[in-house]
Structure 1
Amino acid sequence: MSDTIAAIATPPGEGGIGIIRLSGPDAQSIALKIFRPARAGRLRSHRVRYGHVIGPNGAVIDEALLTFMAAPHSFTREDVVEISCHGGALPVQLTLEAALAAGARLANPGEFTMRAFLNGRIDLSQAEATLDVIRAQTSAGLAVAQAQLGGWLAREVRAARAALLEPLAYITALIDFPEEGIEPQAVAEPVAQALATVERLLAGADQGMVIRNGARVALVGRPNVGKSSLLNALLRVERAIVTPIPGTTRDTLEETANLAGVPVVLIDTAGMRASDDPVEQIGVERARSALASADLALLVFDAQQPFTAEDAAMLSATAERPTIIVWNKCDDPASAPPPAPEHPRSVAVVACSARYGHGIDHLATTIAATLLGGTLPAMGTTHLVSNPRHRAALRRAVEFLRAAQETLATNAATDLLAADLTGAANALGEITGETVGEDLLDVIFSRFCIGK
């Protein structure tokens, strides 16, 4: 990391401000080659200077503000310069080109964050949380990402890993120096403590991943039961066309809604029925495909109509999918809905009225709770593992720790215990980056944008 990198740090397109970021040992000297301050004087750390960006030919590119952050008090722990110019595509691009012509190198995707990790400012879980903050779709997802960026997961994982290192050192010494009469040390207790911590972290991982990644929910049913009206009601906008004519919806329609903090892709589908209309047949087939890819089905029935053979067919069509049975058109909240039909994967029954809004909030929270494993997390809960890589590493750590406990219980060979403890420590180290290879780092940071 002896070179200095540069990149545009703001999204493409027009905006009030465009930022070009430089990081590395020559960030200040390169900046002074392309920036002419309005007043003479050296750059002071964490102070903003006004001036103009100058191109290689000496012409003014734009007026700008320059902020210099001296190492180690910067995001990367290197000298960092940020030049804020007008947010048009051309001044931003020309400013970047001027920086490159003055000696900077174009940054790779995620290279600024990688330097922050390699220089010890953040660990790998915090680096990944940086991307989660950028990509958060709901306030709940943002809160979970911000908590991880704050380091709670790193602290938990490091504590569990540290609990294993002393017994691992003891077991290794027994193997390497069997004649030395080494003082006995406790092994079972720290292994049990580490296992309890890892299992506690895993317990909330499924919820955390749904909050981070979202889920797909298909609205299915026979024609004219009000699926499109339900979609509009859940979205709080008129997104789908609604008419009293059966078969109005001919194709799938996908829209994302924030349901109790969960980003949910709601998929409105064509009513499933036998038809000679080739266009409607295509719509029905796409509805089946949408159902097959969904994490949850909303099976919608019309509470004002008798239960039909087409309704019964929908029970079979959704039999392999977790399903919420929705009685729509319960326009009188004082009237009880019809009894729920038998369904092998039914997780809840909700009565509502898309027309008048009765029960829509209850339906939204039921969808979110179902996707989160049956209950909504307590208000303010942010300490949830939300990254699939972290969950996989925690699961491997649990396997190694349980194997270690079995080895201790059966007085099996000491080298087996050492292998189990090493495996658990390495799995935990993968989360924070202490035991991770360059190939995995390249994969992780390649997901970032160039300016981050």
Structure 2
Amino acid sequence: MFIEETISGIATAPGEGGIGIIRMSGSLATKIANQIFSGVKGKKAVDVASRQVAYGNIIEPDSKEIVDEVLLLIMRGPKSYTREDVVEIHCHGGPIPMKRILELSLQYGARMAEPGEFTKRAFLNGRLDLSQAEAVIDIIRAKTDASLRMALGHLKGNLSEKIREMRHGVLTMIAHLEAAIDFPEEDIEVMTAQEVKGSVETLLKEMQELLATKETGRILREGLETVIIGKPNVGKSSLLNALLKEKRAIVTDIPGTTRDSIEEFVNIRGIPLKIVDTAGIRETADLVERLGVEKAREFVATADLILLLLDASMELSTEDREVLTMLANKEAIVIVNKSDLPVKLEMDEVYTYVSNKKVLKVSVTEGIGLEDLEKSIVDLVYSGKVEQKEGAFVTNLRQSTLLEQAKEHLEASLLTIDQDMPSDCIVVDLRDAWDKLGEISGDTVGEDIIHEIFTQFCIGK
């Protein structure tokens, strides 16, 4: 696909750094670089071989003023990220040199790149499909090694290949049914309705297995929304510090030390936890603390996982009973803290509230039981299965919604077959499923969806 305009943008993060990169893509990229770059011994950009680096200066052509000392890298299409000519100018990472070089590239023929436009061109030019393009932003935003591994697998094509196989299976069924419709007199091998039914049922099983990864995929991509709750002085802040392995929250023996919520990302064996330490839940006359308690209740309502702390050295209190009742219909782990002290907590009563929840005995200050807590979190995320090191995951709402819709169309085709309806009716359902799968890969997606996806990217990517 030929795109006439040449785009330019700063590809490195805003602020100061050792290196800043201005990236151009398009048919004029090398020509623009040729006008503003002067290499050692007069070498020009057009003389630089593809995938080689040249040292020199960016020169303001009219005044001949040196803007910055740079390295120039040219990657000529189609062997580039966008399959177009791509030029990268590596300069010093201050905002002024980057801004001036960007302005020169715009002055001599480029236009400012839109967010995600480099990756969008890679998609439009056939280098990436849509699920691979989405993996690019997942790589940039990855919080843990597991998140990165999943995103890299998708960039490599793990999900794309799975969707492609499903589409091929549906298309094969369509082709056989249409051949029987169009050439009834010809001696063509066709699939009977029952054979199509068997193929659809097999495909539905594969879809369900892929859909089963959506919660794990979402968590690895976005993080597990986790809230620590309990009455004051039960060890919530100590637990946050222990998981972070640093003293992030203030810990004292004075109840009510934490009056507002503290949010941090914690890496638990590759799983990103977006963890919130909340104010202790209790009745209080202190306005600030009361607002913190109300906020804690709000976090409980929306969290993916609740870590409820109880104090093993104290009898169950009114506050404890209140927070225990908040766990109904919620994913939660009950942590009985201070288990190294003489036990006064009535565990039988605790189990009446949380008979279906995981209950762990720990001592946060002594580091006892924290490994069991980490393992419980991992088991929860992977549904007790062996962790998947790589493979296809459904990672966002767009993918899961389209896969669900494709599944519904396949289920409709089974109903059509069972009702002994004509083959062309079966084909309608199968083709709808094929189209929905194509939207995941981008083969049948509309321009509005493409625009929405790429606007999530930063400029320069």
Task: Identify whether the pair has TM-score above 0.5, normalized to the shorter chain.
Answer: yes
Whether 2:33 is the aligned partner of 1:27: answer: no
- Residue 251 of structure 2 corresponds to which residue in structure 1? 242
| Structure 1 letter corresponding to 2:299 | A
Shift, 1:179, TM fit: 6.1
8 Å CA contact retained: 1:6, 1:23? yes
| Structure 2 letter corresponding to 1:8 | I
- Residue 388 of structure 1 corresponds to which residue in structure 2? 397
Shift, 1:165, TM fit: 1.2
Deviation readout 1:133-164 (Å, 9 max, x if unpaired): 01101110000000000012111111110111
CA distance in 1, matches of 2:298, 2:208: 36
8 Å CA contact retained: 1:254, 1:266? yes
- Residue 128 of structure 2 corresponds to which residue in structure 1? 122
Whether 2:421 is the aligned partner of 1:412: answer: yes
| Structure 2 letter corresponding to 1:10 | T
8 Å CA contact retained: 1:303, 1:328? yes
- Residue 363 of structure 1 corresponds to which residue in structure 2? 373
- Residue 11 of structure 1 corresponds to which residue in structure 2? 13
8 Å CA contact retained: 2:312, 2:344? no
- Residue 49 of structure 2 corresponds to which residue in structure 1? 44
Match for residue 111 of structure 2 among 101, 105, 110: 105
CA distance in 1, matches of 2:23, 2:386: 39
CA distance in 1, matches of 2:78, 2:277: 52
What is the DSSP-based 3-state SS (H/G/I as helix, E as strand, rest coil) of the residue aligned with 2:352? coil
Match for residue 278 of structure 2 among 234, 257, 269: 269
Unaligned runs of 5+ in 2: none
Show the 5 A alignment for 1:251-330: 251-330=260-339
What is the DSSP-based 3-state SS (H/G/I as helix, E as strand, rest coil) of the residue aligned with 1:122? coil
| Structure 1 letter corresponding to 2:98 | V
- Residue 207 of structure 2 corresponds to which residue in structure 1? 198
Change (3 A) 1:44 1:122: same
The size of the alignment, in residue pairs, is 450
Whether 2:174 is the aligned partner of 1:168: answer: yes
Show the 5 A alignment for 1:413-428: 413-428=422-437
8 Å CA contact retained: 2:416, 2:425? yes
What is the DSSP-based 3-state SS (H/G/I as helix, E as strand, rest coil) of the residue aligned with 2:445? coil
CA distance in 2, matches of 1:201, 1:333: 48
Deviation readout 1:74-133 (Å, 9 max, x if unpaired): 001111111111111111110111111110111111111111111111111111101110
Shift, 1:328, TM fit: 0.3
| Structure 2 letter corresponding to 1:55 | E
What is the DSSP-based 3-state SS (H/G/I as helix, E as strand, rest coil) of the residue aligned with 2:102? helix
CA distance in 2, matches of 1:173, 1:155: 27
Shift, 1:313, TM fit: 1.9
8 Å CA contact retained: 1:302, 1:327? yes
CA distance in 2, matches of 1:3, 1:277: 61
- Residue 460 of structure 2 corresponds to which residue in structure 1? 451
Whether 2:193 is the aligned partner of 1:183: answer: no
Change (3 A) 1:282 1:345: farther
Match for residue 68 of structure 2 among 39, 52, 62: 62
Change (3 A) 1:376 1:336: farther
What is the DSSP-based 3-state SS (H/G/I as helix, E as strand, rest coil) of the residue aligned with 1:129? helix
- Residue 222 of structure 1 corresponds to which residue in structure 2? 231
What is the DSSP-based 3-state SS (H/G/I as helix, E as strand, rest coil) of the residue aligned with 2:103? helix
Unaligned runs of 5+ in 1: none
8 Å CA contact retained: 1:202, 1:394? yes
Shift, 1:284, TM fit: 1.6
8 Å CA contact retained: 1:117, 1:127? yes
Shift, 1:296, TM fit: 1.6
TM-score, normalized by length of structure 1?
A: 0.94
What is the DSSP-based 3-state SS (H/G/I as helix, E as strand, rest coil) of the residue aligned with 1:276? coil
8 Å CA contact retained: 2:280, 2:293? yes
| Structure 1 letter corresponding to 2:19 | I
Deviation readout 1:303-355 (Å, 9 max, x if unpaired): 01112222112222332422211100112699999444322584201111111
| Structure 2 letter corresponding to 1:202 | L
CA distance in 1, matches of 2:458, 2:122: 15
